[in-house]
Amino acid sequence: MYQTDQLFFHVEPKLDTKYYRPNGVWELVDTSTVYREEDSYATARFVVYLTRKPAYFVYTIIVPCVMLSMLMLLVFWLPPESGEKISLQITVLLSFTVFQLVIASNMPQTSDFVPIMGKCSGYRSRLRVRVGGG
């Protein structure tokens, strides 16, 4: 086994990213390297800072959910005599259900984390039951 005074490591302050290939999900923000020599051992820590590009989730999850929520509010502007209030409510409710099924099929199956959209639709369903039933 070698001691730290017997070895010499040259560590650059930034990682070499010439082999990094950009992709559509992640964006490489920054990299850093920390090399530390202590009493009898040396450590090198490589840190990669990534951010997720939100465009896919905005256009496939958030925008349709906002549009369906706006359709849900449209029910209150319809006159009661039109007879289309219930059919519009049921259509939007079925659209939300299909939308949640599509989202659930694209998300990883885990119980450790509940997505914000799932929490939002759960609260909206409870509110709808309380308003409709109460």
CB 7 within 8 A of CB 35: no
pTM of the model: 0.55
Q: What is the pLDDT of residues 49-80, one digit of tens each?
A: 989 888 877 888 888 888 888 888 888 888 87
Other beta carbons less than 10 A from residue 61's beta carbon: 19
How many domains does the chain divide into?
Answer: 2
Average pLDDT over residues 13-19: 82
E runs forming strands in 41-129: 42-52
**Which one is predicted more confidently, 61 or 122?**
61
Is the same domain home to 1 and 48? Answer: yes
Q: Which of 53, 71, 94 is the endpoint of a domain?
A: 53
Confidence of residue 134 (pLDDT cuts 50, 70, 90): very low
pLDDT tops 60 at residue 133: no
**Does residue 114 belong to any structural domain of this protein?**
yes
**Does residue 40 belong to any structural domain of this protein?**
yes
Domain with 61, as residue range(s), is 55-124
